[in-house]
Amino acid sequence: MPAELSSSAPVARPLTRNDFKTLSLSALGGALEFYDFVIFVFFATVVGKLFFPAEMPEWLRLMQTFGIFAAGYLARPLGGVIMAHFGDLLGRKKMFTLSIFMMAVPTLLMGLLPTYAQIGMAAPMLLLLLRVIQGAAIGGEVPGAWVFVAEHVPARHVGFACGTLTSGLTFGILLGSMMATLINSFYTPAEVLDWAWRVPFLIGGVFGLFSVYLRQWLHETPIFAELQERKALAAELPLKTVLREHRAAVVLSMLLTWMLTAGIVVVILMTPTLLQTQYGFAAATALKANSLAIVCLTFGCIASGLLADRFGAGRTFIVGSLVLAALSWSFYSNLKAHPDWLFPLYALTGLAVGVIGAVPYVMVKAFPPVVRFSGLSFSYNLAYAIFGGLTPMLVTLLLKANPLGPAYYVMALCGLGLAVGLYLFSQRR
């Protein structure tokens, strides 16, 4: 049964200016870190040409480039577990700051790396190493950020805090898309290939280091400070306690993360390509519609967090899952006949994906404070590595059988969200 947050944070008090400062700095840092993590994929074609032999077939070069990108996802669980372990023993703030430093430095170095033409096979090997470090960093950042903001605010505002932080993370994807659009608009393909591709990485690294500085102004969470003062920190390996005593919470968190990957990976990350290949939209049109959907998603995350605070996670997932299922079906099934509906339908669907903003609300309450970071990080990162990695392949297979494959996949996961919502409602949560 989910463990409630410690009562050390007064339940009755309103959000203060210091709370809003904590939320703002955390969301800003999360956005910049997520930008650093995803900017690689927006320049995958250019990176492939520069970091692999020119005589290599284009499809193989692109596959190896995406393989390096995927390595970041594979490194997430291990990095997340290690950072969460020390987060439960040494403090949330230290790991929260370390994660963004581990993201910023590799991003900056990527912008400075010599190419294959300059140093041969050492170039892709160094790129892979930097990508693995990025993956370890993001594995600690997302769970750490949710725990950090949740333990700073009063219990009745945990949903708003987690939703706001999640909106910041999704905004980082939008920043990456906008940066890629700007670079490709202001520079010729030859200039991008020559040197301009480095600019987004260098900017991301510099702003990431600036975020490290900003996080020095944040304070340790009151809940962890209380555990430290009472000498009530984990007496054994935190993950061991999680796996022995909180298996139900792990399963619940992994199921919700699966639903989260359906919304992010399918509706946000895969759909721009699907709009071009399956529905015949121009690349520029698809990216503009995607940007609008991401903006709506950021607001949807905050709204879901507020609804979870007001009505409980159960009701939020019941209604949110039904709405997302209906809008996903409407979006993918109507575009062929009504291409002029692209922008409003994608915007509404992006807003509905915002139901994922309530996911961390459930997860932070599912584990007791003493092992919260480890429990949330293990569940989230393991599920994301499995389901996030399998989703593109599953959706591609569904597409071969039916052009509405993406809609069926999202609707199936909405069914899972509905089931979890009914369970939570039965538990009055």
Which sign does the torsion angle of CA 247, 302, 98, 178 carry? positive
Check if 15-233 and 239-429 are the same fold: yes
- Residue 284, burial from CB neighbour count under 10 angstroms (0-12, 13-18, 19+): exposed
Report the CATH superfamily, name and number, of domain 15-233. Answer: MFS general substrate transporter like domains (1.20.1250.20)
Residue 234 is predicted with a pLDDT of 61
Q: Among 341, 105, 412, 299, which residue's Cα sits nearest to residue 97?
A: 105
Which sign does the torsion angle of CA 286, 324, 332, 37 carry? positive
The domain locations on the chain are 15-233, 239-429
Intra-chain end-to-end CA distance of the chain, in Å: 11
CA 224 remoteness from chain centre: 24
Question: According to CATH, what is the number of the domain 239-429?
Answer: 1.20.1250.20
Per DSSP, the three-state class of 227 is helix
Backbone angles phi, psi at 281, to 5 degrees: -80, 150
Rounded-to-integer distance, Cα 408 and Cα 405, Å: 5
Residue 127 is predicted with a pLDDT of 92
Q: Among 350, 354, 313, 373, which residue's Cα sits nearest to residue 158?
A: 313
- Residue by residue, pLDDT tens for the chain (429 residues) are 444 434 334 445 777 788 888 888 888 888 888 888 888 877 877 888 898 887 777 777 767 777 787 777 778 888 888 888 787 777 777 887 888 899 999 999 999 999 999 999 999 999 999 999 988 888 888 888 898 888 888 888 999 999 999 999 889 988 988 898 888 888 888 998 999 999 999 999 998 898 888 877 777 777 777 776 766 566 567 888 888 889 999 999 999 999 998 899 889 888 887 888 888 888 778 888 989 999 999 999 999 999 999 999 999 999 999 999 999 999 999 998 899 999 999 999 999 999 999 999 999 999 998 889 889 989 998 998 888 777 877 888 888 888 899 999 999 999 999 999 999 998 877
CA separation, residue 166 to residues 56, 147, 357, 386, 389 (Å):
40, 12, 6, 20, 20
Task: Please check whether residue 83 is in contact with residue 135, taking contact to mean a CB–CB distance below 8 angstroms.
Answer: no
Contacts of 147 (CB under 8 A, 6+ apart): 87, 92, 221, 364, 372, 373, 376
